[in-house]
Chains A and B, each alone.
Chain A
Amino acid sequence: EVQLVESGGGLVKPGGSLRLSCAASGFTFSSYSMNWVRQAPGKGLEWVSSISSSTTYIYYADSVKGRITISRDNAKNSLYLQMNSLRAEDTAVYYCARERIGTQPWYGMDVWGQGTTVTVSS
């Protein structure tokens, strides 16, 4: 079964750091670009970052640029999101999602995890 499972969410103080992980199974992880998408409570979807299969292409939303780093370990079938200098507005459910095909993040995200919740509050 194709599956993505996020972990690492939690409560963190403003200015703090957190590292999210996404474990992939059931498909050849190293062949797919991956994404992080977040959803603040009661709000819509917001794309956060994308990384191509071989890490050649990496993109960030302006709202997180300079504070967040996406990475992957193809040997461990895992995707990561290192989040620093966290703010209250980063509070959200964070989903990892597989890009359907290709090296670029515009073909559609066809597999999603269940999400992990990040709460930034003092």
Chain B
Amino acid sequence: QSVLTQPPSASGTPGQRVTISCSGSSSNIGSNTVNWYQQLPGTAPKLLIHSNNQRPSGVPDRFSGSKSGTSASLAISGLQSEDEADYYCAAWDDSLNGRVFGGGTKLTVL
């Protein structure tokens, strides 16, 4: 059982916009920034979004992040086949004094 809750799966067709939610609590998302990671099949994770909504250099602007209260979202617009991957949200948890991840969302491009 992950501290942060994500839907286990999401899907969309090429060109569509997809959003992935991440629900937490006041001790994690509610008081700290959220980061998102993309893990392509068989590879190491990659930082996709940091500080709730900031894209590292090289990440396409099709990817965007937002946060409101104790929830966060990752949006992917103009969906492409290469976006098929697992996506994880993460944040620091003040109560656990540790970093917590969501359980991950497997995105399928139909």
Which residues of A does B touch, CB under 8 Å? 35, 37, 44-47, 50, 59-62, 95, 97, 100, 104-110, 112-115
* Interface window among B13-21, B74-82, B94-102: B94-102
Task: Supply 17 further A-B pairs (C-beta < 8 A) apart from A44-B2, A95-B44.
Answer: A35-B99, A44-B102, A45-B37, A45-B45, A45-B88, A47-B99, A59-B97, A61-B99, A100-B47, A105-B92, A106-B32, A108-B47, A109-B35, A109-B47, A110-B47, A112-B45, A115-B44
Asked if B24 is at the interface of the complex by the 8 Å CB criterion, the answer is: no
Task: Label chain B's interface by main secondary structure.
Answer: strand
* B100 pairs with A108, CB closer than 8 A: no
Question: How far apart sit A105 and B100, CA to CA, in the bound complex (Å)?
Answer: 11
CB neighbours of B44 from chain A (8 A): 95, 112-115
* A62 pairs with B47, CB closer than 8 A: no
* B98 pairs with A45, CB closer than 8 A: no
Interface string of B47-65 (1 = CB under 8 A from A): 1001100001000000000
- Given A106-B33, A108-B35: A45 in contact with B96 (beta carbons within 8 A): no
* A61 pairs with B45, CB closer than 8 A: no
Which 6 A-B pairs give the minimum distances between C-beta atoms? Answer: A108-B50, A106-B92, A47-B99, A44-B104, A108-B35, A112-B44
- Please tell me the size bucket of the interface on B: 20 to 34
Which residues of B does A touch, CB under 8 Å? 2, 32-33, 35, 37, 39, 44-47, 50-51, 56, 86, 88, 90-92, 96-104
Question: How far apart sit A121 and B46, CA to CA, in the bound complex (Å)?
Answer: 30
- Given A95-B45, A110-B56, A112-B45: A44 in contact with B101 (beta carbons within 8 A): yes
Question: How far apart sit A114 and B40, CA to CA, in the bound complex (Å)?
Answer: 12
* A46 pairs with B35, CB closer than 8 A: no
CB neighbours of A106 from chain B (8 A): 32-33, 91-92, 99
CB neighbours of A107 from chain B (8 A): 33, 35, 50-51
- Closest Cβ–Cβ distance, residue A39 to chain B (whole Å): 8
Question: How far apart sit A37 and B88, CA to CA, in the bound complex (Å)?
Answer: 13
CB neighbours of B33 from chain A (8 A): 106-107
- Closest Cβ–Cβ distance, residue A26 to chain B (whole Å): 15
* A105 pairs with B99, CB closer than 8 A: yes
